[in-house]
Amino acid sequence: MYLDLENQEENRIVAGWLLYYYQRKKELDEAKDNILNSSPPTIKEVVISKTLQTGDPTGDKAAQLLEFIQETEKWLALVAEVEQRLPWRMQIVLILRQEAVYSSHRWVPYTQRRYAEEVAKKTGKDESETYINRTETFYEWWQRIIEYTARLACKRGLLK
């Protein structure tokens, strides 16, 4: 694969973890609850497991779920760390970008407007003073957040 394509694919994966952090965190909690409250394997699962020669369908499920949980926990911890380590203005952009996923508005205008509100609250300035006209700034900041996250993900072996 060409480096550009590989980089784009990795950035797409990272962006997904950044954007859907809270949804995936919720899914992880639900998966853990399902594990704790799961029922014994069905006859069909026992037969399939025996044909695969593992003999332990419950153990197979547990191993798969454990792998899923461990991988998800690593990604969630990474996103939480990135959010903490970002400069406060970029933290705002990340939070607003996550919110925009569930908004009916396009993300840049939504983020641009809400960013001015949040920075004005934090600094005590008027929103007109904190508004950033240049929409490219938000694309650039978002790309920078993705790049920071991708570098950390690579260091931790999360992008393979």
The tens digit of pLDDT for each residue in 2-44 reads: 888 999 999 999 999 999 999 999 999 887 787 777 766 665 5
> Which comes out higher in pLDDT, residue 73 or 46?
73
- The tally of CA atoms less than 13 A away on the side-chain side of residue 76 is 15
Could you tell me what percent of the chain has a pLDDT over 70? 88
Q: Which pLDDT tens digit goes with each residue over 135-145?
A: 999 999 999 99
Cα-Cα-Cα-Cα dihedral sign, residues 142, 144, 73, 54: positive
Q: Residue 46: what pLDDT?
A: 55
Give the contacts of 19 (CB within 8 A, at least 6 positions apart).
97, 98, 101
> Is-contact 134 55, C-beta < 8 A?
no
Round to whole Å and give the CA distance between 120 and 125. Answer: 5
pLDDT of residue 101: 94
Residue 34's pLDDT is: 76
Question: Quick one: pLDDT at residue 44?
Answer: 57
Please report, for the chain, the start and end positions of each structural domain, with discontinuous segments joined by +: 3-155
pLDDT of residue 160: 80
